[in-house]
Amino acid sequence: MMHIIMIIYVVKRTLIRFYWGLVIYAAHFLLNFAALQGHITILGILKKAQAQLIMTPLHQSIFKSRINT
């Protein structure tokens, strides 16, 4: 009887950890996406010279690909 309780406990704990991992990952993804969208719209407002100073290479490539499409 004790073994079954232990197994249920371990499975439940693992599922909860997995669930929170997913929730946190999704939250990070959404926050990053929102920040990126905000960043890009702000950059769209800024002059090109100022935008160049703020953008990292990653942002530059994303920004360029957004403009080109």
Tens digits of per-residue pLDDT, 39-69?
655 556 555 545 455 555 656 666 566 655 4
The full set of domain ranges for the chain reads 2-68
- pTM across the whole model: 0.38
Reply yes or no on whether the pLDDT at 6 is more than 80.
yes
Residues 57, 35 contacting (CB under 8 angstroms): no
Tokens of 3: 């073994």
pLDDT at 30: 74
